Structure 1
Amino acid sequence: MNRLEGLVQTTTLNNGVEMPRLGLGVWKTNNTSAKESVKESIIKGYHLIDTAKQYGNEAGVGEGIKEGLAATGKNRKDLFITTKVFNGDQGYQSTLDALNGTLKRLDLTYIDLYLMHWPVDGKYLDTWKAMEKLYHQGKVRAIGVSNFDNDRLQDLLNHCEIVPAVNQMEFNPINQEKDIMAFNSHAGIQLEAWSPLGGGEALNNPTIKQIADKYNKSVAQVILRWDWQKGVVTIPKSSHEERIIQNSDIFDFELSDQDIQAIDALDQAKRSLWYPDFEWHTTGQMTDTVDQWDDSPKNYKD
């Protein structure tokens, strides 16, 4: 299977929606870079694009979508766009209202997957009720969560009408979230990886480097292939054309069971962002902060 054939491969979410299994993430990317990387990724055959209001680059992503579609002759329905409910917008009515601003910045009429960015304590149940309403209204094709541990996810399942379609988590060889992965699988929730390459510690790991040399692939390609074979949807970030291509060149080889087990054994449960490290959900300043870039639109309020 070549890279273009691989990029159209999908997983079926629990509501029947088909979601591409490999896409592009744009965290910590300003609007100009986001526009260029999104445009380039569409030209290079990507279908899944992942952003968030908190990233401060929805406007750039929207421009990249428009330019990418124009350059390829593809249609909106050929893409799968994910964005997220901003922490500062959580709550019932505020979540309903916030989608309008997101759609305006992205210049879209609907979102394919709308995620709750973090489980803001005291608000996430009301936020989910609003997301269910948006789903029923047809403004979003699927709804899910991000950064939900098993306790909070179980609480949500105890109160929800619609089971989340996706839980997007930090997932990489150093932090494999095995308990969360098992819980999600049992509940019929697709696991999606943010920070799939795990930073320098994973990219410089000698075990993965040895495996990469065996297949004549890069360490990043081996990690993304490991994600693929474990059934995890993956959204590696890149703003460089060469890397965008390389990250999707993972379909012409297959890791052996022994190689999969060797990478599985690297798990340190080492999270870069997680409870109790983040205190925004109670008293911290992250509650209502959107990343602002020098090239941000002057008015980013909804």
Structure 2
Amino acid sequence: MASVLGCPTVPLANGLQIPIFGLGTSHDGGYSHDAVVYALTECGVRHLDTAKHYGCEEMLGKSIRDSGLARSDLWLTNKLWPGDYGYEDTKKACMDSCSRMGVEYFDLYLMHWPGPKKPCRSNREMRADTWRALEELYKEGVCRAIGVSNFMVHHLEQLKEDCSEIPHVNQVEYHPFQQSNELIEYCRHEGIAFQGYCPLAKGQVLSSPTIIQVAQKYGRTPAQICIRWSVQNGAITIPKSTKKEHVAENYQVLGFQLDEEDMLVINKMHDGRHVSWDPRDVE
């Protein structure tokens, strides 16, 4: 496995290497300029994840510029909101996002959700039209890689039948309570890199006696155990934080390893709960 500044990377089907650890952003107060600049300049984070829906594209662009880092030194992921699905709207939305962030390209651009947020012929047809636009953006170099978020196996199977380029990444909710093993196996078989968000289950997993016990064994925090477990399972992991101390704490997961027995204990914690959107019933 390759690395960027000591951070392991995951190979994509097109040959690119994505850092396995990154910093996520979110809406409703989930953005901090100081935390992002600190992550980039002090912690060595080189992977940032955002979305139009989060409403922080312009702020993130400013944070990147203020960090002094070259655009080419970063991996930048953005996501297309379902209200912008459809061939023409997708292409416009991507270029508008680039403009708001002050960048010429995204390293990874994802469809945010399997269901469109607008009237359409069918979900499947709208996904296919949208994906064709992403394929063109990929060929044009506006997106160095393209993928999806919150897609289940049946969504991926339809996309595979309808389009020519297999998604490079599928980003879904992933934490000890929600492990999606069938989906993970499918992605591996199809050459789709698996990326997990909400690694702390929005804080729910931090009070788990199992996680607390493992954390005590390693002299680490429960958050570090959950993030390390995700990374060690090979999932590209993007914890969110607006506090410098938590950003630093999270990045330290690259400095230790869990024993196989502890990995297996955490693997048994799956109970199927979703703390974010549940896409299973989207047609």
| Both proteins in one fold, TM over 0.5 | yes
| Deviation at residue 240 of structure 1 after TM alignment | 0.7
d(CA) in 2 for partners of 1:202, 1:58:
29
1:54 corresponds to which letter in structure 2?
H
Question: 2:89: which partner in 1?
Answer: 94
Per-residue CA deviation, residues 241-273 of structure 1 (Å, 9 max, x unaligned), is 111000010123211111001000000111132
Alpha carbons 1:24, 1:235 under 8 Å: kept: yes
Specify the code of the residue in structure 2 equivalent to 1:58. E
Q: Say if 1:30 and 1:60, in contact at 8 Å, map to a contact too.
A: no
The residue number in structure 2 matching 1:27 is 26
Aligned letter for 1:108? V
| Residues 1:4 and 1:221: Cα distance change in structure 2 (over 3 Å) | farther
Q: Verify: 1:38 aligned to 2:36, yes or no.
A: yes
**Could you say which residue in structure 2 is the equivalent of 1:172?**
175
Aligned length: 271
Structure 1 residue 39: Cα displacement: 1.5
Paired position in structure 2 for 1:79: 74
Superposed, which structure 2 residues align to 1:139-150 within 5 Å?
Answer: 139-150=142-153
**Corresponding position: 1:132 with 2:135:** yes
Partner amino acid, structure 2, of 1:208: I
The answer for the alignment partner of 1:60 in structure 2 is 59
Counterpart residue number, 2:15: 16
Aligned-partner residue type, residue 278 of structure 2: W
Structure 1 residues 276 and 151, CA gap change in structure 2 (3 angstroms): closer
Q: After TM superposition, give the deviation of residue 229 of structure 1 in Å.
A: 1.1
Asked if the contact 1:227–1:234 (Cα under 8 Å) also holds between the matched residues in 2, the reply is: yes
- 2:197 is aligned to 194
Which secondary structure state, in structure 1, belongs to the residue aligned with residue 36 of structure 2? helix
Letter paired with 2:206: L
Which ranges in structure 2 are unaligned for 5 or more consecutive residues?
A: 116-122
Partner secondary structure for residue 249 of structure 1: helix
2:120 matched to which residue of 1? none
| Counterpart AA for 2:230 | D
Correspondence for 1:214: 217
Shift of 1:276: 6.2
**Which structure 2 residues correspond to residues 247-266 of structure 1 after superposition, within 5 A?**
247-266=250-269
Residue 30 of structure 1 and its aligned partner are, at CA, apart by 4.3
In structure 2, the residue corresponding to 1:175 is in which secondary structure?
coil
Q: Aligned match of 1:110 in 101, 105, 110?
A: 105
Question: In structure 2, what is the Cα distance between the partners aligned to 1:276 and 1:176?
Answer: 14
Cα RMSD of the aligned pairs, angstroms, is 1.8
Q: Find the partner of 1:274 among 274, 278, 281.
A: 278
Measured against aligned partners, the alpha-carbon deviations of 1:131-190 in whole angstroms (never above 9, x if no partner) come to 000000011100000000110111001122111010000000011111111111111111
1 CA distance for matches of 2:15 and 2:242?
31
From 241, 244, 249, give the equivalent of 1:241.
244
Identity %: 37
Contact residue 225 and residue 254 of structure 1 kept, 8 A: yes
How far apart, in 1, do the equivalents of 2:164 and 2:34 lie? 39
Tell me the distance in 2 between the aligned counterparts of 1:39 and 1:237: 14
The TM-score with structure 2 as length reference comes to 0.91
- Whole-angstrom distance in 1 between the partners of 2:221 and 2:280: 34
Distance (Å, rounded) in 2 between the aligned partners of 1:82 and 1:29 = 19
* Aligned mates of 1:5, 1:96 — CA distance in 2: 33
Q: Distance in 1 between matches of 2:130 and 2:173?
A: 22
Give, in whole Å, the separation in 1 of the partners of 2:112 and 2:203. Answer: 25
Instruction: Determine helix, strand or coil for the equivalent of 2:78.
Output: strand
Worse-superposed segment, 35-44 or 210-219: 35-44
Distance 2:243 2:176 in 1: 23
Which position in structure 2 is the counterpart of 1:49?
48
Letter in 2 for 1:112: D
**CA pair 19-29 structure 1, distance change in 2 beyond 3 A:** farther
Alignment counterpart, residue 119 of structure 1, candidates 114, 118, 134: 114
Query: Which deviates more, 130-139 or 152-161?
Result: 152-161
How far apart in 2 are the matches of 1:50 and 1:230?
A: 20
Q: TM-score, length-normalised on structure 1?
A: 0.86
Q: How does 1:226-237 map to 2 (within 5 A)?
A: 226-237=229-240
Q: Tell me how far apart the structure 2 counterparts of residues 136 and 199 of structure 1 sit (CA, whole Å).
A: 36
